[in-house]
C-alpha cells in the first residue's frame, strides 16, 4: 500500500533498525521503545489488522509467530517476554499494518492499560 509507513519500511523506502528479515516478514526496532527490547514484527504484504486476516494468511502468520520465538532467542530474552497485537480502535492500533510488538528485558505488568 503506497501510503502505509510499514509497507515503506518493508521495501526500505523508510529506514529502520532491522533485526531480522526474510522473504515474508521483517522485524525492526520500535522508534518509541516501551521496554529495553521493543521490536515490531510485520508481514511484508499489507494486511490492515488481525481483524483483516483470512484463512489463506494462516500459514504465513504461523511462520511469523514461530519466528518471533527465534527472534526472542536471538535477542537474549531467555527470561521471558511479551508479544502484543493492538487491533482496531479499542485495541489502540495506531499503524494500520498488522504488527506484533515483542517486548522484553523488563518485568511486565498485568493487566495492561
Sole binder of ligand AMP in the list 4, 5, 61, 83 (CB under 6 A): 5
The smaller minimum CB distance to ligand AMP, of residues 80 and 91, is found at 91
Q: Any long-range contacts for 60-64 (C-beta under 8 Å, 24+ apart)?
A: 60/24, 60/25, 63/24, 63/25, 64/24, 64/25, 64/100
CB of 31 to ligand AMP, least distance (A): 4
Sheet of 37-43, strands arranged across: 18-21, 25-29, 37-43, 100-104, 81-84
- Contacts to ligand AMP from residues 50-109, by CB under 6 A: 86, 92-95
The smaller minimum CB distance to ligand AMP, of residues 30 and 63, is found at 30
Residues engaged in binding ligand AMP (CB under 6 A): 5, 14, 16, 28, 30-32, 40, 86, 92-95
Amino acid at each position: 500500500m503506497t501510503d502505509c509507513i510499514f509497507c515503506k519500511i518493508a521495501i526500505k523506502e523508510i529506514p529502520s533498525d532491522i533485526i531480522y528479515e526474510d522473504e515474508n516478514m521483517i522485524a525492526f526496532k520500535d522508534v518509541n521503545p516501551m521496554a529495553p527490547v521493543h521490536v515490531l514484527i510485520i508481514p511484508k504484504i499489507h494486511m490492515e489488522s488481525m481483524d483483516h486476516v483470512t484463512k489463506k494468511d494462516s500459514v504465513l502468520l504461523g511462520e511469523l509467530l514461530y519466528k518471533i520465538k527465534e527472534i526472542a532467542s536471538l535477542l537474549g530474552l531467555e527470561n521471558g517476554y511479551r508479544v502484543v497485537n493492538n487491533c482496531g480502535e479499542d485495541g489502540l492500533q495506531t499503524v494500520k499494518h498488522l504488527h506484533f510488538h515483542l517486548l522484553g528485558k523488563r518485568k511486565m505488568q498485568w493487566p495492561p492499560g
